[in-house]
Structure formats: structure tokens, C-alpha cells
Structure 1
Amino acid sequence: MVGGTYTIVVNLPEPETLTVGSLGRQELPAGYYAYTGSAFGPGGFARVDRHHEMAAGKRDTRHWHVDYLLGDTAARIETVARSPEAEIECAVAREVAETASVVIDGFGASDCDCPAHLHHHAARDALVAAVRGAHDRHG
């Protein structure tokens, strides 16, 4: 199965407070979030399907930080950018962070030295453009 790097853009319609594994309590403002992840493990981009299932309430088990956002809130996935066979997760996350209004410290970045892999933006279109641009430049 093909793997690579992906970024999901998530709409969080209301502010939320949630507990995210070892990160603890997180205050998330309403708006749009970009979560960048790697799909090089077993199943490849099937991981994105799993994220959709989590957001739809079809899964209960939380494995990754993003599972708490998708499974414990009214968040819904708006769009997904994929870069097949490109190992650019950290480069994309760092570039998207440059346009973010809020960086969720440590979120999704427990296995690298990035500040975060989840970034908030108030405007959907600007965030989607930043995500697609980062995938295009680094993929």
C-alpha cells in the first residue's frame, strides 16, 4: 500500500477543552486546524480513512493525539492533502506553522523535534492554500 505524508484540514465549530493523552488538558479555539502526519506505516494512506472513521464516531480507541481532536469534539475533516512516497511531514508542519494563529505545542510531534504538527488558523481558505503550497514545495 502506498504511503507518504498527509495533512488533514479540520473544522472545529466551537471552542473545546479536551485531555490529549500525555499532553494533558488543551484549550482549542474554534476555527480550522491543519494536522500533518506520516502514512509510512502498515496500511499507508489507510490511516487517513481511519481519521475519517474517528471523526464519524465509528472508532473508539485513541492511538494518536489527533484521535482526541477527531473523536472527542464536533470536529469534522474538511479536506486532505497527500504527498505519496514523500517523507516531508516535518517540513510541511513547519511551513504551515508560519501562517498559524495558534500552534498547539507538542501536538502530534512526540517522535520528532518539531514544536507541533497541529496548527490553528481562523480562515479556512488561507489555511488550505498554505497546506497545499507546503505539500507542493516539499513533495
Structure 2
Amino acid sequence: MKGTYTLVVELRESATVEFGAAGARDLPAGWYAYTGSAFGPGGFARVERHRELARGERDARHWHVDYLLGHPASRIVEAVRTADADVECAVSGALDAEPIAGLGASDCDCDSHFRFSPDREALERAVRRAHDRVA
């Protein structure tokens, strides 16, 4: 199955994370949402690939979120999916959370598909609501 997904990621402590060519960013502890598309080979298997990286079972980093997931203080707490819909930009843009400029949107005109919130519940509600609206 293919579509659009959003990972909700906890960063348990503030950290400086190196995002490859995008450079290092000082990230506060809190909750991050990364919205991506899974229309390539394997579709939503990409979400499991992100989970494997977060568990330390993979090393290769292909997307900006992989750099955060490779940090030992991070973990994926939820993955919300919308099947058969290419709505990555719409979902990310609907999230009322602080964008992390220049991350997660290298293949479109958006500034970011990577967002921060200090409030887990508010971020999870916003992610679910954004996916429900576009479904």
C-alpha cells in the first residue's frame, strides 16, 4: 500500500542533530512531526524502515527525519497514514506546530515538512485531524 504518512517522534532531551548537508540544528526536547510520502517501491514499508533505524537496526540515513531517529534520545510514538493520497504538503501545512525550516521538504516548494511542538497531545490531535481532512 502507498500513500502519505506522518511520524510523531519524541526527543526526550535537547540535542544538537547533524542533518547531513542541511547542517546541524539545536533541537529542544519535545515532539516532532515529520510528514513524508510513500509512493516509491515498498510503499508504507518505508515507515517500518524508519522504525528499524530508530531501533538501531539500520544505519543508512536517506531522509532528514532519519538523522533525528538515529539520535539515542528519540523514538517514534505514532505513525498516521493516509492511503492512496499524495497529500504530504497539505498535511504538513495543516499542522499548527513550529516548522523546522529547510528540513523534510527537499522535493517540493514547501519550507518544511518537519514540525515541532512542546505538547504531545496537541501535536497528535493535529496530525490525526490533518490526515482525516484530506482522506
Cα distance in 1 for residues equivalent to 2:3 and 2:94: 17
The worse-fitting range, judged by mean Cα deviation, of 71-80 and 25-34 is: 71-80
Cα distance in 2 for residues equivalent to 1:52 and 1:19: 19
TM-score (norm. length: structure 1): 0.94
**1:16–1:73: 8 Å Cα contact kept in structure 2?**
no
Partner of 2:15: 16
Partner of 1:56: 55
Instruction: Give per-residue Cα distances to partners, 1:59-101, cap 9 Å, x unaligned.
Output: 01111111100013421001111000011000001111xx21x
2:104 paired residue among 87, 108, 111: 108
Calculate the aligned-residue CA RMSD, in Å: 0.8
TM-score (norm. length: structure 2): 0.97
Overall identity of the aligned pairs, in %: 58
Partner of 1:35: 34
Q: How many residues align?
A: 135
Cα distance in 2 for residues equivalent to 1:63 and 1:73: 18
Gaps of 5+ in 2: none
Q: Give every structure 1 segment of 4 or more consecutive aligned residues whose post-TM-superposition deviation is greater than 6 Å.
A: none
Partner of 1:130: 126
Cα distance in 2 for residues equivalent to 1:20 and 1:86: 28
Instruction: Give per-residue Cα distances to partners, 1:3-54, cap 9 Å, x unaligned.
Output: 0000010010001101101110111110000000000000000000001001
